[in-house]
Structure 1
Amino acid sequence: MLSLPDELLEAVLDETGARRDLVALALSCRRVHATADAIGALKYSRIVALFGHDNLWTHLISSPHLASQVRELEIYCDDASSVLESMAFSADELSLSPVASAVEPEKIAQALRLMKRLYSLTVHLSKNMDENQTPLNSGLLSVSCNNARAGLDTLRVRAYPVVDIASLEQPPIIPDSLSWNLTALRVLDLRGTGYVPASFWKRICGVMRLSTRLEEVYLPQLRLGGVADSDWSFLPHLRVLHVPDMRTSVAHEVLNFASAHPQLEEFSWQSPVPYDFLTTNNMPRFPRLLRLVETSHVFIRALLTLPRTPGSLTLETLEGFELSAETIPLLLALRGERLVSLTLSSLDEKRTLLDAARLLPNLRKLRILHQVKGEPVSVWEAARAFPRLRAFANATAIYTVEGTP
Structure 2
Amino acid sequence: MVPKTRRRVFFLAFFFAFFLGRLAAAGAATPGWSLLDEVYDLAEKNYPGFLDREALEAGAVRGLVDSLGDPYGEYIAPGDLPFFTSSLNEEYTGVGVVFQEVEGQIVLKEIVPGSPAARAGVKPGSVLVAVDGRPVTGLSLEEIGRLLEGTAGTYVEMTVTLPGSSARRSYYLRREVIRPPVTGVHLFAGQVGYLYLRSFPYWAPEEMEAALAWLEDRGARGLILDLRGNPGGYLDAALETASLFLLPGKPVVQLLGRDNKVTLLQSRGPGQDLPVVILVDRDTASAAEVLAGALQANHAALLIGTRTYGKGAVQTIFNLSNGGALKLTTAYFLTPGGRAIDGEGLKPDIEVAGRQEQLDRALQVLRAQIAPSLVAAVPAGK
Q: Which has the larger radius of gyration?
A: 2
User: TM class, shorter-chain normalised?
Assistant: under 0.3
Query: Which of 1 and 2 has higher RCO (CA within 8 Å, sep 6+)?
Result: 2
TM-score normalized with structure 1 length: 0.27
